[in-house]
Amino acid sequence: MPSTSVTVGSSVGLHARPAALIAEAAGALGSTVTINGVDASSSLMLMTLGAKHGDTVEVAGEDQSAVDSIAALVEQDLDAG
C-alpha cells in the first residue's frame, strides 16, 4: 500500500475547513485514502486526529496518485483566506 509522510501546512491544523476540503477531495477520488489510519473522506475523523500545524502525518491508500493528491492538500495552508 503506497504511503508518504507529510507535514500539516494549515495554520489551524486538520481542523474544520481544512478537514472538510481534504475529506471532499478524498471522497471524490473513488479510492480509499487514510491519514494516520483514519478515513480521509471523513472530516469528523480527520478532526479527531488533533493534528496541528507542523505535525507529521502518514497518508496511505490503494493508489499512489490518490495518496499524492491528498498529501499535497495536507501540505497546503487550506485555512488561508
Q: What is the pLDDT of residue 31?
A: 94
HEC secondary structure over 5-72: EEECCCCCCCCHHHHHHHHHHHHCCCCCEEECCEECCCHHHHHHCCCCCCCEEEEEECCHHHHHHHHH
Is 36 part of a structural domain of the chain?
Answer: yes
Is 81 part of a structural domain of the chain?
Answer: no
pLDDT range class, residue 9, cuts 50, 70, 90? very high
Range of the domain at 59: 3-75
Average pLDDT over the chain, rounded to an integer: 96
Q: What is the pLDDT of residue 79?
A: 85
Q: What is the CATH number for 16?
A: 3.30.1340.10
Q: What is the count of structural domains for the chain?
A: 1
Give the rounded percent of residues in the chain with a pLDDT score beyond 90. 94
